[in-house]
Amino acid sequence: MRFVFIDDSARTAPGDAPRAHLGPLHAYGAVIVPEESLVPYAECLAALRTRLGLPPKKEFKWNPSGGSLHKNWDALREARPQMLQDAQDLGISAVVVICATERMPNSWDKGKIQLEMLKYLYERVSMVLDNAGHSGILIADQPPGDRTDEKRWLGQALALTENGTQYIAPDPNRIVLPVLTARSDHLAFLQLADLVTAATTALIAGSEHAAPYRDLIKSLLAKNWLDGMGGTGLKLFPDAEYSPHNLRNLFYWVFGEWGSPRSLTSDTSPCPTTSGRTQPATGSGTPSRRTIGTRRRAAHERRQHDSHVGRHPQGRTGNTLLPGPADVRRGGRPVPHRRGHREVLRADLPDLAHYLGVDAAR
């Protein structure tokens, strides 16, 4: 059994970090805790409070707004890495989803973005549990706002556990209960989820205050079978390959991870596990249902982006965009069309004409 503690309160204002051009960042995060680690981690936090001289049950937050930890930087600098290190030692892993909201298309309002982020988080947590063969109970921090906001959020979460998503089928043996909510000051693991989510968001925003926790955060994020967390333990979006606003290069600039989160859609599609190391979907070479689901989601995201920028989906071939037949007939001049401006070299015209089935000389 695994207990999944969810936090959705991490936000970074545009002026708070060097990457202010990203705009506000909104994040959902979850820590996945083995059942046998519940008591030991709670004991670790109790010992940490004693060592720092804090009251019992004192809530640890990334940015405490009051109390004995408010602007107590010495205590925070000691508490944060110790909490992350204890989590790593006890086999706890994490999943974080971050969205640069101002980089999303205008048609995506706040509610749609938050629902999509919740789906991304649910899918990744489900894959972690499913591929490790564990069942899970999801417990979320109470959403900010009044009871109406909480009921709306719980309704969205209930729809996921009952109906699944387009890519993850509901499974009562995987998520055994509807999503529950609790106060973060009552559950220490929600405080850990807040720390992991906020620290990861601060790292993406380039905050120097998060730099000391980079390696610990990277070790906690769930990994795919290639030992990469891009697209598995950490999901950034927008991330469509051809979008000028995609955030995919931040996997390298923040965590030094080469390659692309699109490794989830390769022929040997990796599936995450709570151990942080995974295996290919199947040993026979045949994609599993989970593998097919991740491929379909990636294709869906690319089609979604193409529709936003007015690009015709048939213009895509592998990692390139070919011009249309009309462009070949015009002799390769840059011609405005739905797929944007493309320049076709005359030397390539016979090959392109053959590929497109048209006469380049017409």
Worst-scoring range by mean pLDDT, 164-168, 170-174, 266-270, 323-327? 266-270
- Convert the pLDDT of each residue in 181-233 to its tens digit: 898 888 889 999 999 999 999 999 998 889 999 999 999 999 887 888 888 89
Backbone phi, psi, residue 66, to 5°: -175, 175
SS3 2: strand
Task: State if pTM tops 0.85.
Answer: no
Under the banding of pLDDT at 50, 70 and 90, the label for residue 298 is low
Q: Is 185 exposed, middle or buried (0-12, 13-18, 19+ CB in 10 A)?
A: middle
Question: Which residue has better confidence, 190 or 261?
Answer: 190
Worst-scoring range by mean pLDDT, 128-137, 204-213, 244-253, 284-293? 284-293
Amino acid code (one letter) for 162: E
What are the E-state strand segments in 286-339? Answer: 316-317, 320-321
Per the prediction, the chain carries an average pLDDT of 76
The strand order across the sheet containing 234-237 reads: 180-182, 136-141, 2-12, 25-34, 93-100, 234-237
Spatial CA neighbour of 272 closest among 293, 243, 258, 242: 293
Spatial CB neighbours of 267, under 8 Å, sequence gap ≥ 6: none
Residue 32 clears pLDDT 80, i.e. is over it: yes
